[in-house]
């Protein structure tokens, strides 16, 4: 793997916001901050066609993000009102948060994958049913009641993401973004979210990877109470597809640009192999264990003691996704049926 966004990498290492850059003719990288988040910024991409201007992943709905986006657009010779379209790789707030404000200011259409539309928080959340489902899920994972109280998602806590807007354009796998003069093709890469998209600009041979493939960190692949499909199996399959774009320069939504998608996907596949092996070793050592017990025993990058607050929920969801994957491949099994929590052990050979 070779870093191509050297200035972006230097900015990442110095913990500063990188500059707006012209990556290819009429294709700009515009960094916008994520206040109070260790990821620090989202890399939005502005792409001009013959008769349109599309922005990919506008960022979080905060005033600093809005101001930085306007400044980046101005440096690229554009304004918010010039936008004709917005493409969202996935609906996490640091990608889709500003879409509604941009649409209202410009009249631009908003595009995403159908599965991503269906996973919008406002489509999934019900003020009566959803909190109860969340409590049941945490109980099934074996989270102690006092800790579960800290990890529950409340209506008040997610009210700000319930306002994220619906798309007006749907992009299935293989569809071209409606931007005349560009061949910007949707590549469905589920796992991080159900409808995550990468975007391949075929003429310039660049792949906008969103959060699917990043140069330095592994994206969170977590099982959630409302998940319809196993996320880790989908993610590993999507990585196999991404490796086919090895000739393309990767333009991720965080960190910095790089070449070597096949190499990076191999690294990510190996990471998940190691995590699965570690989980099997933990179940061997503990015997029948809950998802929460397994989570506490794993080797998190900062150590379990530094995993606090809602980061614990993300770690729990990631462990749950791996246990579900191992169960699907026949390597672990749930202990004999009984009341929650569910306990896992290595399956008999």
> pLDDT tens digit string along 7-51?
999 999 999 999 999 999 999 999 999 998 889 999 999 999 999
pLDDT the model gives residue 224: 82
Classify the phi-psi angles of 328: left when phi > 0, otherwise alpha if psi is within -120 to 50, otherwise beta: alpha
Contact 202, 247 (CB under 8 A): no
Contacts (Cβ under 8 Å, ≥6 apart) of 71: 20
Report mean pLDDT in 10-residue bins for the chain, 349 residues.
97 95 98 93 97 97 97 97 98 96 97 96 79 90 93 82 94 98 97 97 98 96 83 96 97 98 98 97 94 96 87 95 96 79 87
Residue 266: burial class (beta carbons within 10 Å; 0-12, 13-18, 19+): middle
Q: Looking at the domain covering 2-122+162-268, what would its CATH class be? A: alpha beta
pLDDT at 126: 80
CA angle 179, 74, 211 (to 5 degrees): 55
**Which pLDDT score, from 0 to 100, does residue 49 have?**
96
Q: What is the pLDDT of residues 308-322, one digit of tens each?
A: 888 999 999 999 999
Q: Kindly list the domain boundaries of the chain, sorted by start residue.
A: 2-122+162-268
What is the model's pLDDT at position 221? Answer: 96
What distance in Å separates the CA atoms of residue 289 and residue 342, rounded to the nearest whole number?
8
Residue 150: CB atoms within 10 A of its CB come to 12
Per-residue confidence (pLDDT) for residue 166, from 0 to 100: 97
Task: Tell me how far apart the alpha carbons of residues 28 and 69 are, in angstroms, rounded to a whole number.
Answer: 12
Which residues are within 8 A (CB) of 136 and not within 5 positions of it... i.e. 6 or more apart?
225, 340
| Joined tokens for residue 58 | 């506008």
Torsion of CA 298, 299, 305, 310, to 10 degrees: -70
């Amino acid at each position: 793997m070779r870093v191509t966004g050297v200035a972006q990498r230097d900015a990442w290492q110095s913990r500063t916001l990188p500059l707006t850059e012209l990556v290819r003719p009429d294709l700009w990288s515009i960094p916008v901050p994520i206040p109070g988040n260790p990821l620090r910024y989202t890399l939005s991409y502005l792409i001009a066609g013959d008769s349109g201007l599309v922005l990919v992943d506008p960022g979080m709905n905060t005033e600093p993000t809005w101001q930085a986006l306007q400044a980046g657009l101005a440096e690229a010779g554009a304004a918010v009102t010039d936008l004709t379209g917005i493409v969202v790789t996935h609906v996490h707030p640091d990608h889709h948060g500003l879409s509604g404000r941009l649409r209202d200011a410009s009249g631009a259409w908003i595009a995403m994958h159908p599965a991503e539309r269906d996973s919008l928080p406002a489509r999934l959340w019900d003020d009566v049913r959803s909190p109860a489902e969340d409590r049941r899920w945490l109980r099934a994972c074996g989270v102690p009641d006092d800790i579960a109280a800290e990890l529950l998602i409340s209506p008040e806590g997610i009210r700000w993401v319930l306002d994220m807007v619906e798309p007006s354009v749907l992009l299935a796998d293989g569809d071209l973004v409606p931007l005349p003069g560009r061949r910007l093709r949707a590549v469905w890469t589920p796992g991080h979210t159900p409808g995550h998209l990468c975007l391949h600009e075929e003429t310039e041979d660049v792949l906008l990877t969103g959060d699917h493939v990043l140069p330095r960190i592994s994206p969170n692949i977590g099982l959630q109470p409302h998940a319809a499909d196993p996320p880790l199996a989908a993610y590993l399959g999507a990585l196999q597809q991404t490796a086919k774009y090895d000739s393309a320069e990767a333009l991720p939504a965080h960190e910095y640009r790089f070449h070597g998608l096949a190499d990076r996907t191999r690294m990510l596949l190996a990471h998940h192999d190691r995590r699965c092996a570690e989980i099997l070793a933990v179940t061997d050592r503990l015997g029948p264990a809950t998802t929460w017990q397994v989570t506490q025993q794993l080797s998190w990058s900062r150590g379990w003691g530094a995993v606090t607050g809602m980061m614990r929920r993300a770690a729990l969801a990631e462990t749950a996704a791996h246990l579900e994957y191992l169960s699907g491949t026949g390597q672990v099994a749930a202990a004999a049926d009984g009341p929650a929590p569910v306990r896992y052990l290595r399956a008999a050979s």
